[in-house]
Amino acid sequence: MIDSTVVLFNARGERVELSPYGAAITAIYVRDRQGRVGNVTVDEGGSAGKVVGRYANRIANGRFALDGRVYQLATNESSNTLHGGPDGFAKRVWKTGATRTSIDGSTMSVEFSLNSAAGDQGFPGNLSCNVVYSFDDEAALRIAYGATCDEPTVLNLTNHVYFNLSGDSSPSIASQRLWIASDEYTPVDRAMIPSGAIVPIAGTPRDFRKMRPIGAVAFDTNFVLDAFTGDLRVVAEAFDDESGRRLRVETTEPGLQLYTGKGNAFALETQHFPDSPNHANFPSTVLRPGQRFASTTVYRFMTTPSTELRTGD
C-alpha cells in the first residue's frame, strides 16, 4: 500500500505535495503577483513529476559497454531503453523518511530512498539511492539526489515534473517566456538518439539565449548548458506575463531537456546527456564503488515585473 501524500509548506501559505510512488512531485502551489496560490504543475501521465532512473532519457538499443563488458538492458521504447526501462524508478514505491524542519523554521524537507539490486532492468551493481526535497519560505524547491554502488555502473537521475506557470493546467504555454543558458545542443535521429555531435543553437528554433515566448513548436531537446563545473548555477528562467510567476532553475548538471508535451506544459529536466554511456565525448555517467553520486537542482519560484527579466545579455 502506498503511503499518504507528504506535504512541505512555507510561511507564505505555499506548499509542495509529494508521493512515495516514484518519489513524485504531485503539486506545487505558489503565489501569483496578486498573492493568489495556484498549482503550477501539470499531470501529463506516465512519468510526470516522478524521479526517473536508473538512467533518465534514452540509451540506444538498450546497450552499453563498461570496462570491456557489454550490458543489455530491458527496452521499452522500440529497441531503446527510456527512463531506466519498463520497470524504472518512476514505477517504484520509495521508502519515505520523516518530514523535518530546519532549526530556524524556514525550510521543510523529506527524504525518499530506494535500493536497486544488481541486474535491475539489466544495470550492473547494487545501487542505493535517495532524493531529498526541501521547500523554504522563499518558495525554493531544492532536489538533492545521492547514490552509491558496489560495482561500476551508469547513473542519470532527474525529475520529470511538468510546469504551466499560469496556475491552470489548460492554457497553452506558447506565450510563456523562456531563457536557457546554452549555446549548443545534442542533435538526435528519428528515434531520439544523439548522433554524438554537439552543435550551435544559433539560427535554430532552439535559441533561447534571450528570453522569448516558447511558441507553438514542439520541443524535445537536450541543451548543453554553459559553465558546467559541477557547481550549482542558474541555467534557465521561465515567466508567465499574466500571472507574474517566474521560475528560476539552478542545477549542478551539464544538460537540460526541454520537453513541451501536449502544448499545455513544459518540462525542464536537469540531467546528463541522453545515451552518454555510448558517447565518449559526453560528460561521463559512470559511478564506481567508493564514489558517491550527488546532484542538486533548485526550482525557485517568485513574482517579477517583466522589466526585470533576463535578456541573455
| Structure confidence at residue 7 as a pLDDT band (50, 70, 90) | very high
d(CA 84, CA 121) in angstroms, rounded, equals 7
**Does 132 score more than 60 pLDDT?**
yes
Known active-site residue 269: yes
pLDDT in tens, 264-277: 999 999 999 999 99
Per-residue pLDDT averaged across 282-301, rounded? 98
Backbone φ, ψ for residue 61 (5° rounding):
60, 15
Per-residue pLDDT averaged across 138-165, rounded? 98
pLDDT at position 309, please?
65
CB atoms within 10 A of CB 77: 15
pLDDT at position 2, please?
55
pLDDT in tens, 15-63: 999 999 999 999 999 999 999 999 999 999 999 999 999 999 999 999 9
Of 160, 237, 250, 253, which residue is the catalytic one?
A: 160
Share of the chain above pLDDT 90, in %: 94
Which of 217-235 are b and which e, b meaning 16 or more Cβ less than 10 Å from the residue's Cβ?
Answer: eebebbbbbeeeeeeeeeb
Domain boundaries, the chain: 6-308
**Does 306 score more than 70 pLDDT?**
no
d(CA 18, CA 6) in angstroms, rounded, equals 5
Cα dist from 15 to 7, 38, 194, 249, 299, whole Å: 7, 10, 37, 18, 13
**Does 108 score more than 70 pLDDT?**
yes
**Does 308 score more than 80 pLDDT?**
no
**Does 244 score more than 50 pLDDT?**
yes
Known active-site residue 160: yes
pLDDT at position 261, please?
80
d(CA 35, CA 46) in angstroms, rounded, equals 32
pLDDT at position 1, please?
41
pLDDT at position 190, please?
94
pLDDT in tens, 157-207: 999 999 999 999 889 999 999 999 999 999 999 999 999 999 999 999 999
pLDDT at position 5, please?
92
| Structure confidence at residue 4 as a pLDDT band (50, 70, 90) | confident
pLDDT at position 65, please?
98
Mean pLDDT (the chain) is 95
**Does 110 score more than 70 pLDDT?**
yes
Choose the CATH number for 6-308 among 3.10.20.30, 3.40.50.720, 2.70.98.10, 3.50.50.60: 2.70.98.10
d(CA 170, CA 241) in angstroms, rounded, equals 16
d(CA 123, CA 117) in angstroms, rounded, equals 9
DSSP assignment string, the chain: -PPPPEEEE-TTS-EEEEETBTTEEEEEEEE-TTS-EEE-B---STTTTSEE-SBSSEEGGGEEEETTEEEE----BTTBEETTSTT-GGGSBPEE---EE-TTSSEEEEEEEEEE-TTGGG--S-EEEEEEEEEETT-EEEEEEEEEESS-EE-B-EE--EE-TTS-SSS-STTSEEEE-EEEE--B-TTS-B-S--EE-TTSTT--SS-EE--S---EEEEEESS-SSS-EEEEEEE-TTT-EEEEEEES-SEEEEE-TTTT-EEEEEESPTTGGG-TTSPP-EE-TT--EEEEEEEEEEE--GGGS----
Of 83, 111, 269, 272, which residue is the catalytic one?
A: 269
Per-residue pLDDT averaged across 85-104, rounded? 97
